[in-house]
Structure 1
Amino acid sequence: MATIVHIDIPVGDLQRARTFYETIFEWRFHEVPGYSDYLLFETGDGKSAPAIGGGLGMRGAPDQRITCYIGVKSIAHYLPRIEEMGGAVTMPYTEIPGFGALALCLDSEGNPFGLWEEKHEI
């Protein structure tokens, strides 16, 4: 079963947003080597039930909103199925070097979501 694996939060001021989430929710942030305008965060304490992590990144468009990413084994497998069921692909398979790949979609109700395919080193 595919599950939500990541949440992206677009921001206008990276440090202001980091301070907001650290102060209110006590999320832990890490810098990502090679990505100066993006921070990863963890929402769990490592002791209780697993928690969803995510990232803060600079807003790419004025209307960009929070996006939930669903982890799948093969983005290529899901894209045609999404379209067959009345959804749409708004950004095709895109590699994120060293991490995996993503695609952005709309569901049948026009809600945005992402697909995430983890890179597995052999």
Structure 2
Amino acid sequence: MPTVVHVDIPAEEPERARAFYERLFHWKFEAPPGYGDYFLSEATDEEGKPGVGLGLGKRGAPDQKITVYFDVDSIADYLPLVEQLGGKVVMPRMPVPGYGALAVCTDTENNPFGLWETHTD
């Protein structure tokens, strides 16, 4: 069953948003090499157990909202199903070098969500 693996937070000013979330939730964001103004973190529970991954970066479109990503075995298998069920593919499968691949869709209520496929190599 697909689970939530990542939450992407778009921001007008990533440094300002980074400071906000670091102070609010004590998340520690780091900039991976080669990703520019994009920061990664991982939420942990009260005992320090790892939780969902977090990303924070420059807003790509004026209407871009926080997007939850679900881990799936194959994005290619899910995209036709999204459309068959009345959703839309907003961004087709795109590789994320060194990590996996992603796609962004909307559901029947126009809510954005992402599909994530982890590299297995």
Specify the TM-score bucket, using the shorter chain as the normaliser: over 0.9
1:16 matched to which residue of 2? 16
Which has the larger displacement, 44-53 or 29-38? 44-53
Q: Tell whether the 8 Å contact from 2:42 to 2:50 is kept in structure 1 after alignment.
A: no
Q: Structure 2: where are the runs of 5+ without partners?
A: none
In terms of mean alpha carbon deviation, does 36-45 or 55-64 score higher? 36-45
Q: Does 1:79 align with 2:79?
A: yes
Structure 2 partner of 1:98? 98
Q: Normalising by structure 1, what TM-score?
A: 0.92
Q: Tell me, which stretches of 5 or more residues in structure 1 are unaligned? A: none
Deviates more, 1:7-16 or 1:45-54: 45-54
RMSD after superposition: 1.5
CA deviation string 1:55-75 (max 9, x = no partner): 001011111110000110100
Once the 2 structures are TM-superposed, how far is the Cα of residue 51 of structure 1 from its aligned partner?
Answer: 2.1
- TM-score (norm. length: structure 2): 0.92
SS at match of 2:102: strand
Runs of 4+ in 1 over 4 A off after TM superposition: none
Residue identity opposite 1:106 in structure 2: T
Q: Distance in 2 between matches of 1:21 and 1:111?
A: 23
- Count residues with an aligned counterpart: 121
Q: CA deviation at 1:15?
A: 1.3
* Worse-matched range after superposition: 64-73 or 37-46: 37-46
Q: Which amino acid aligns with 1:30?
A: E
Equivalents in 2 of 1:29, 1:109: separation in Å? 31
Q: Is the 8 A contact 2:104 2:115 kept in 1?
A: yes
Partner in structure 2 of residue 109 of structure 1: 109
- 1:52: which partner in 2? 52
List aligned pairs for 1:60-71, cutoff 5 A: 60-71=60-71
Could you say if the C-alpha distance between residues 48 and 98 of structure 1 is closer, same or farther in structure 2, counting changes exceeding 3 Å?
A: closer
Whether contact under 8 Å (2:10, 2:58) holds in the other structure is yes
